[in-house]
Amino acid sequence: MKPKALSFVARSGTGKTTLLEKLVPELKRHGLKVGVIKHDAHQFEIDYPGKDSHRLFTAGADAVLLASSEKLALIKRTAGTLPLHDLIGTYFSDMDLVLTEGYKTGPLPKIEVHRKERGAVLMGRGEERDPTLIAVASDDALMLDVPLLPLDDIRAIADFVMDWLQSSAA
């Protein structure tokens, strides 16, 4: 059975990571196994010169897996951006819920993170109407056709996610 997945989207610098950093432990308190995929539009590096894994990857290995008793990391060459559903199915099949950060134009249901100081126009309700938008977490009193969640109330956001999980399981 595939895990449910939900994207958190916002303009850069709005606080997506900070929100997810607080939301994950709250969802874990509900007994969920939670995975997170962070979309990075830039070329990131998790491996550095001098490390054995970097040496092996630089030598031409197509994939290097670092494994310990507590965690693992896979560094693998790709021919392009992999579809989000493939990433979830391949790497997160043992999770109850996968939260993604980013994937603004992706196919998953979305909660938009919005701060008044970042502008009045929402990505999902601006020039284009995103049909996958299911809620907005904001510090502004917005009039919306989707639920408005208080940005500073992590428990309310977690409760919304739990309700969404239960309703989407039916």
The domain that contains 130 carries what CATH number? 3.40.50.300
The number of domains in the chain is 1
Name the region of 103 (left: φ>0; alpha: ψ -120 to 50; beta: rest).
Answer: left
This prediction has a pTM of 0.88
pLDDT at 128: 83
Give the pLDDT score at 170: 63
In a domain, residue 63? The reply is no
Classify residue 94: in a domain, yes or no: yes
The answer to whether residue 54 is domain-embedded is no
Structural domain includes residue 124? yes
Specify if 67 maps to a domain: no
pLDDT at 169: 73
Q: What is the pLDDT along the chain (170 residues), one digit of tens a residue?
A: 589 999 999 998 899 999 999 999 999 999 999 999 988 766 666 777 888 888 898 898 998 988 889 988 888 888 888 889 999 999 999 999 999 998 898 899 999 999 999 887 899 988 889 999 999 999 999 999 999 999 999 999 999 999 999 998 76
| Residue 50 lies inside a defined structural domain of this protein | no
Phi-psi bin for 101: left (phi > 0), alpha (psi -120 to 50), beta? beta
**Rounded to an integer, what is the distance from CA 7 to the centroid of its chain?**
5
Tell whether 61 is covered by a domain. Answer: no
Q: What is the reported pLDDT for 44?
A: 63
Nearest-CA neighbor of 146 among 156, 159, 160? 160
Judging by beta carbons within 10 Å of its beta carbon (0-12, 13-18, 19+), is residue 161 exposed, middle or buried? buried
H runs (alpha helix) in 104-153 = none
The answer as to whether 114 is a domain residue is yes
Structural domain span for residue 21: 4-45+80-169
pLDDT at 81: 82
What per-residue confidence (pLDDT) applies to 48?
74
